[in-house]
Amino acid sequence: MSQPEAGHGGVRVERTLALIKPDAVHKAEEIEELILKSGFTILQKRTLQLSPEECSDFYADHYGKNFFPSLAAFMSSGPVTALDLAREDAIAHWKTIIGPVNSVQARDTQPECLRAMYGISELCNAVHGSDTFIAAERELKYMFPNSVIEPVPTVEAAKEYLIKYVNPTLLRGLTELCKEKPLNPCTWIADWLFKNNPNKPNVFDGAIVEEAE
Protein backbone atom coordinates (compact mmCIF):
# COMPACT_ATOMS: atom_id res chain seq x y z
CA MET A 1 0.00 0.00 0.00
CA SER A 2 1.58 3.25 -1.07
CA GLN A 3 2.75 5.77 1.52
CA PRO A 4 -0.21 8.15 1.95
CA GLU A 5 0.11 11.82 1.19
CA ALA A 6 -0.95 14.43 3.72
CA GLY A 7 -4.25 16.05 2.92
CA HIS A 8 -6.00 19.08 4.36
CA GLY A 9 -5.49 19.45 8.12
CA GLY A 10 -2.79 16.80 8.13
CA VAL A 11 -5.24 13.96 7.31
CA ARG A 12 -3.62 11.29 5.15
CA VAL A 13 -5.02 9.55 2.11
CA GLU A 14 -5.58 5.85 2.81
CA ARG A 15 -6.72 2.77 0.93
CA THR A 16 -9.20 0.21 2.15
CA LEU A 17 -11.06 -2.81 0.84
CA ALA A 18 -14.80 -2.78 0.31
CA LEU A 19 -16.69 -5.99 -0.48
CA ILE A 20 -20.22 -6.03 -1.80
CA LYS A 21 -21.51 -9.36 -0.54
CA PRO A 22 -23.68 -11.94 -2.38
CA ASP A 23 -26.94 -10.61 -0.89
CA ALA A 24 -26.31 -7.10 -2.26
CA VAL A 25 -24.21 -7.64 -5.37
CA HIS A 26 -27.29 -7.05 -7.56
CA LYS A 27 -27.28 -3.51 -6.14
CA ALA A 28 -23.57 -2.99 -6.83
CA GLU A 29 -24.08 -0.03 -9.17
CA GLU A 30 -26.21 1.84 -6.63
CA ILE A 31 -23.70 1.16 -3.87
CA GLU A 32 -20.80 2.29 -6.06
CA GLU A 33 -22.61 5.57 -6.78
CA LEU A 34 -22.99 6.18 -3.03
CA ILE A 35 -19.32 5.34 -2.53
CA LEU A 36 -18.26 7.93 -5.12
CA LYS A 37 -20.62 10.54 -3.65
CA SER A 38 -18.93 9.96 -0.28
CA GLY A 39 -15.62 11.19 -1.67
CA PHE A 40 -13.94 7.87 -2.44
CA THR A 41 -11.97 7.03 -5.54
CA ILE A 42 -12.36 3.46 -6.82
CA LEU A 43 -8.81 2.43 -7.74
CA GLN A 44 -9.58 -1.18 -8.67
CA LYS A 45 -12.67 -3.32 -9.04
CA ARG A 46 -13.40 -6.95 -9.74
CA THR A 47 -16.35 -9.31 -9.41
CA LEU A 48 -15.51 -12.89 -8.48
CA GLN A 49 -16.91 -16.08 -7.01
CA LEU A 50 -15.08 -17.27 -3.91
CA SER A 51 -14.86 -20.92 -2.93
CA PRO A 52 -15.63 -21.94 0.69
CA GLU A 53 -11.89 -22.50 1.19
CA GLU A 54 -11.06 -19.01 -0.10
CA CYS A 55 -13.70 -17.50 2.17
CA SER A 56 -12.18 -19.37 5.10
CA ASP A 57 -8.76 -17.96 4.24
CA PHE A 58 -10.09 -14.44 3.88
CA TYR A 59 -11.94 -14.57 7.21
CA ALA A 60 -9.19 -16.52 9.01
CA ASP A 61 -9.32 -14.10 11.97
CA HIS A 62 -12.80 -15.43 12.76
CA TYR A 63 -11.81 -19.10 12.62
CA GLY A 64 -13.22 -21.06 15.55
CA LYS A 65 -16.14 -18.71 16.19
CA ASN A 66 -19.66 -20.14 16.13
CA PHE A 67 -20.71 -18.18 13.06
CA PHE A 68 -17.60 -19.05 11.01
CA PRO A 69 -19.08 -22.00 9.00
CA SER A 70 -22.21 -19.98 8.17
CA LEU A 71 -20.08 -17.00 7.14
CA ALA A 72 -17.93 -19.09 4.79
CA ALA A 73 -21.01 -20.75 3.29
CA PHE A 74 -22.78 -17.42 2.76
CA MET A 75 -19.78 -15.63 1.24
CA SER A 76 -19.28 -18.48 -1.24
CA SER A 77 -22.98 -18.71 -2.16
CA GLY A 78 -22.71 -16.17 -4.98
CA PRO A 79 -20.47 -13.56 -6.61
CA VAL A 80 -18.96 -10.66 -4.66
CA THR A 81 -17.62 -7.33 -5.90
CA ALA A 82 -14.27 -6.22 -4.46
CA LEU A 83 -13.38 -2.52 -4.53
CA ASP A 84 -10.05 -0.87 -3.74
CA LEU A 85 -11.08 2.49 -2.26
CA ALA A 86 -9.00 5.58 -1.55
CA ARG A 87 -9.68 8.90 0.19
CA GLU A 88 -8.64 10.79 3.32
CA ASP A 89 -9.20 8.67 6.43
CA ALA A 90 -10.64 5.93 4.19
CA ILE A 91 -10.74 3.06 6.69
CA ALA A 92 -12.67 4.90 9.42
CA HIS A 93 -14.90 6.72 6.92
CA TRP A 94 -15.90 3.51 5.12
CA LYS A 95 -16.66 1.79 8.43
CA THR A 96 -18.92 4.72 9.35
CA ILE A 97 -20.77 4.58 6.04
CA ILE A 98 -21.44 0.84 6.18
CA GLY A 99 -22.74 1.00 9.76
CA PRO A 100 -23.27 -1.67 12.46
CA VAL A 101 -22.75 -5.36 11.70
CA ASN A 102 -26.39 -6.31 12.32
CA SER A 103 -28.52 -4.88 9.51
CA VAL A 104 -31.74 -5.16 11.55
CA GLN A 105 -30.27 -3.11 14.40
CA ALA A 106 -28.72 -0.72 11.89
CA ARG A 107 -32.17 0.17 10.55
CA ASP A 108 -33.09 1.38 14.05
CA THR A 109 -29.88 3.21 14.91
CA GLN A 110 -28.38 4.31 11.57
CA PRO A 111 -31.09 3.98 8.90
CA GLU A 112 -29.02 5.80 6.26
CA CYS A 113 -26.01 3.45 6.44
CA LEU A 114 -25.40 0.87 3.71
CA ARG A 115 -26.11 -2.15 5.88
CA ALA A 116 -29.46 -0.70 6.92
CA MET A 117 -30.42 0.04 3.31
CA TYR A 118 -29.13 -3.13 1.63
CA GLY A 119 -28.56 -5.76 4.33
CA ILE A 120 -30.94 -8.41 5.61
CA SER A 121 -29.48 -9.69 8.88
CA GLU A 122 -26.29 -9.87 10.93
CA LEU A 123 -24.86 -12.48 8.54
CA CYS A 124 -26.29 -11.15 5.27
CA ASN A 125 -25.29 -7.53 5.87
CA ALA A 126 -24.50 -6.37 2.32
CA VAL A 127 -20.96 -5.04 2.64
CA HIS A 128 -17.58 -5.60 4.29
CA GLY A 129 -14.90 -3.13 5.30
CA SER A 130 -11.33 -3.52 6.55
CA ASP A 131 -10.96 -2.84 10.29
CA THR A 132 -7.36 -1.61 10.41
CA PHE A 133 -4.40 -0.57 8.26
CA ILE A 134 -2.85 -4.02 8.55
CA ALA A 135 -6.17 -5.72 7.71
CA ALA A 136 -6.61 -3.43 4.70
CA GLU A 137 -3.16 -4.34 3.39
CA ARG A 138 -3.78 -8.08 3.76
CA GLU A 139 -7.29 -7.98 2.30
CA LEU A 140 -6.33 -5.82 -0.68
CA LYS A 141 -3.48 -8.23 -1.48
CA TYR A 142 -5.91 -11.14 -1.22
CA MET A 143 -8.52 -9.66 -3.53
CA PHE A 144 -6.10 -7.99 -5.95
CA PRO A 145 -3.08 -10.35 -5.97
CA ASN A 146 -1.59 -8.92 -9.18
CA SER A 147 -1.45 -5.34 -7.96
CA VAL A 148 1.51 -3.84 -6.12
CA ILE A 149 0.53 -3.05 -2.54
CA GLU A 150 3.34 -1.21 -0.78
CA PRO A 151 3.65 -1.08 3.04
CA VAL A 152 0.85 0.54 5.02
CA PRO A 153 1.50 3.94 6.65
CA THR A 154 4.53 3.63 8.91
CA VAL A 155 3.13 5.45 11.94
CA GLU A 156 -0.16 3.57 12.07
CA ALA A 157 1.45 0.19 11.39
CA ALA A 158 3.95 0.85 14.17
CA LYS A 159 1.15 1.73 16.61
CA GLU A 160 -0.71 -1.50 15.81
CA TYR A 161 2.47 -3.56 16.20
CA LEU A 162 3.26 -1.95 19.57
CA ILE A 163 -0.26 -2.50 20.90
CA LYS A 164 -0.46 -6.12 19.75
CA TYR A 165 3.06 -7.40 20.36
CA VAL A 166 5.27 -5.05 22.40
CA ASN A 167 2.99 -3.61 25.08
CA PRO A 168 1.83 -6.97 26.58
CA THR A 169 5.44 -8.20 26.95
CA LEU A 170 6.62 -4.88 28.37
CA LEU A 171 3.76 -4.86 30.88
CA ARG A 172 4.75 -8.33 32.10
CA GLY A 173 8.35 -7.21 32.45
CA LEU A 174 7.49 -4.07 34.41
CA THR A 175 5.22 -6.10 36.70
CA GLU A 176 8.07 -8.51 37.45
CA LEU A 177 10.39 -5.53 37.96
CA CYS A 178 8.08 -4.12 40.63
CA LYS A 179 8.03 -7.49 42.40
CA GLU A 180 11.82 -8.01 42.29
CA LYS A 181 12.89 -4.41 43.08
CA PRO A 182 16.48 -4.94 41.79
CA LEU A 183 19.30 -2.52 42.61
CA ASN A 184 19.85 -1.78 38.92
CA PRO A 185 16.36 -1.73 37.36
CA CYS A 186 17.55 -0.72 33.87
CA THR A 187 19.93 -3.67 33.58
CA TRP A 188 17.36 -6.02 35.10
CA ILE A 189 14.57 -5.09 32.67
CA ALA A 190 16.98 -5.30 29.72
CA ASP A 191 17.99 -8.84 30.74
CA TRP A 192 14.37 -9.82 31.32
CA LEU A 193 13.27 -8.57 27.90
CA PHE A 194 16.15 -10.42 26.25
CA LYS A 195 15.17 -13.68 27.96
CA ASN A 196 11.43 -13.22 27.35
CA ASN A 197 11.43 -12.06 23.74
CA PRO A 198 8.10 -13.46 22.40
CA ASN A 199 9.58 -13.75 18.89
CA LYS A 200 12.47 -15.92 20.09
CA PRO A 201 11.74 -19.52 21.24
CA ASN A 202 13.32 -20.73 24.46
CA VAL A 203 15.87 -23.51 24.07
CA PHE A 204 16.46 -26.06 26.86
CA ASP A 205 18.89 -28.98 26.37
CA GLY A 206 18.59 -28.72 22.62
CA ALA A 207 14.78 -28.71 22.61
CA ILE A 208 12.79 -25.70 21.51
CA VAL A 209 9.97 -24.74 23.86
CA GLU A 210 7.45 -22.27 22.51
CA GLU A 211 5.22 -20.28 24.82
CA ALA A 212 1.52 -20.86 24.37
CA GLU A 213 -0.35 -17.85 23.08
* Surface-to-core class of residue 156, CB atoms within 10 Å of its CB (0-12 exposed, 13-18 middle, 19+ buried): middle
**Alpha-helical segments (H) within 50-132:** 52-58, 68-75, 90-98, 103-109, 114-118
Residues with Cβ within 8 Å of residue 23, at least 6 apart in sequence: 74, 78, 118, 119, 120, 124, 125, 126
- CATH superfamily label, 8-152: Nucleoside diphosphate kinase-like domain (3.30.70.141)
The burial class, CB within 10 Å (0-12 / 13-18 / 19+), for 143 is buried
Catalytic residue (one of 8, 26, 93, 128): 128
pLDDT of residue 113: 97
Check for a shared fold between 8-152 and 157-209.
Answer: no
Over the chain (213 residues), what is each successive 10-residue block's mean pLDDT? 47 87 96 96 95 92 87 95 95 95 95 96 95 91 80 59 79 88 87 77 46 40
Where exactly are the structural domains of the chain? 8-152, 157-209
Q: Quote the pLDDT of residue 64.
A: 83
b/e burial code for range 118-130 (CB count within 10 A of at least 16 → b): bbeeebbbbbbbb
pLDDT at 50: 95
**pTM: predicted TM-score of the whole model, two decimal places:** 0.66
Q: Which CATH architecture has domain 157-209?
A: Up-down Bundle (1.20)
pLDDT at 13: 82
Q: For this structure, is 93 an active site residue?
A: no
